[in-house]
Structure 1
Amino acid sequence: MTQVKIDLAFYTADTPNGQKISIFLKEAGLAYKQFNLDLDKGEQRHPDFLKINPIGKIPVIVDRQTGLRIFESGAILSWLSSKTGCLLPATEAENVAVQQWLFFQVGSIGPMLGQLWWFLHGSRTVNDEAIKRYQEQSLRLYQVVDKRLSESAFLAGENYTIADIAAFTWLRTWDELRLNITPYPHVKRWLHVIAARPAVQAGLHASKPIPGARIERLTSSEE
């Protein structure tokens, strides 16, 4: 694949949503400048960052050639795939399948697993009822994915796509979320296959904070 020349700035943190974009950038072999935000310090609410994304969340991609700024991880994955041709479906039917499973991750997997993580690790109080609810809902989603993966190698079909990247970074956190995924062998197989990809390993590694690439550099670099 011919590499597309894009001048990208990537604003991220070491979270499942940030990892999605990092993995795609490695899959596509794109050059970019990375800015790591410290979410615990509230750098995502820094006025300089809010100029880039008024929602105050990562990830964000900026095409510095055109000034185009894209936030929301699903939108970023779709834009990057379309822009570069990397992991781009060949047919309309395949594209629809990719978008369906991508939106499933954005609308269901992320919110449910994200809430479970919060009540397990972020909340200052223990809410057993909430933990039970979100564990049950999360396992229901694993079951949905497992059934799908019993029918095809990957979520949207026989080919690895951005839908797999999006779901992978969340579903790989099962241990941290204290979930038993033994009943879901197809999910376990799929997680293993994706985790073995060199670009996935590189993307996860690159999501770790880079010393010096901090929020205070945004104004001088981007404005």
Structure 2
Amino acid sequence: MTFSLVTGIVWACSDSPDEPPVTSAASAPHPGPPAAPVTRAGSTPHSGARAASPHGPLPAATPLKLAIPSMVIEAPVIGLKLDRHGRLNTPPMSKPHEVGWYRGGTAPGAAGTAVIVGHRDTRTGPAIFLNLNALRPGDVVNITRADHRTAVFSVDSVKTFKTKKFPDAKVYGATGRPELRLLTCGGTFNKKSGYGANVVVFAHLKAVRKA
């Protein structure tokens, strides 16, 4: 299964515990232009008219760590590049507890829609985003950046989309505020075709604090 980050660039999501990596087609446009302890927040409405972010866009800075308090997980963020076929490389299958960010895209907290991807599982067992679909509106996602700031995102919604009906514009389109998408494989696993869906977390920047 694949995730597309910019026109002509896709990420091959090869979460397959029993079989060799399998990819299927799913193209999409670009996600937007090339971020005191946090407590659980209330639900944020997710409607056609988006409210302005409580905090303005940050300058671009490399993300270093992802933390989701409600899931009690932390993960190093690695930069991902394109392979020779123009596809975004996956986080290493040998390091299932890392997540990846396309270094040519929007930095988390900067203007636009940043995208972070992670495996659901691998041949060796569960991976970092196994229970990503358990997130709920108002849950917090913290991204520690290289500029010593933490971009605090609030989850708006969690959706599962069939690969062949992936809503490109909804997931990657410009929103007018700094947003974050977390993506992993989802749906039912098929030995021949891999996972049949993508889990997508929609979140917006709600605050910034010192790392």
TM-score (norm 2): 0.27
- Is the strand fraction higher in 1 or 2? 2
TM-score normalized with structure 1 length: 0.26
Q: Which has the greater radius of gyration?
A: 1
Structure with the higher fraction of residues in helix conformation:
1
